Structure 1
Amino acid sequence: MLSVILSPWAARAVGDERVHEGRYNHTMYIIAIAWLYVALMAAISDTTVVGGVLTFVFLGLLPMSLFLWLFGTPARRRKLREKDDGIDAGTDQNASDRNQ
């Protein structure tokens, strides 16, 4: 319960080792939402509709998709590693069952 209330750094400071078990960092989403808000405000203040849409796409959506993809890579790798470890553990157990 304490790790849910506290930030990941504070939870790690009090000794909770299970802070990032396959989950994305929530700070990453706060940054993305804030940037999309700024890009939306810039797009709304543009003088034409086409200019507003292009502003939102090129200053909001494209940079955020790149940001989320790059900063989400560690979590995706961690999930893939956990999946591979589960498959390896299952095949090792099946092999030991066949040997008996």
Structure 2
Amino acid sequence: MDKRGFKAIVVTYNTIIDSLCKDMMVDDALKLFKEMIFDKGILLDVVAYTSLIRGLCSLGRWDDVSKMLKEMEDERISPNVVTFSIYISRCICKEGKVEDA
């Protein structure tokens, strides 16, 4: 772990964001997500993005999912197997766009 505690801070925020998304409080999670970046300057990782993508997919907010994936690309954060699995199973397949998978 980083001696200055930065790793622990990211893990804590990721846990809170994930919990909010699982409780369908995605807008609160997005607010915290933006606070991490803009107010606190905390660099995010794939875990936070994946939690938000899961939450947005669960609410059917497909445009926001696309924006989140684009933001990941812009920030050079690579989606992992969990991110792709959620995106394919919850977004693409539910929308009937299986050929895009």
| Shared fold per TM-score greater than 0.5 | no
Q: TM-score, normalised by structure 1?
A: 0.32
Q: TM-score, normalised by structure 2?
A: 0.31
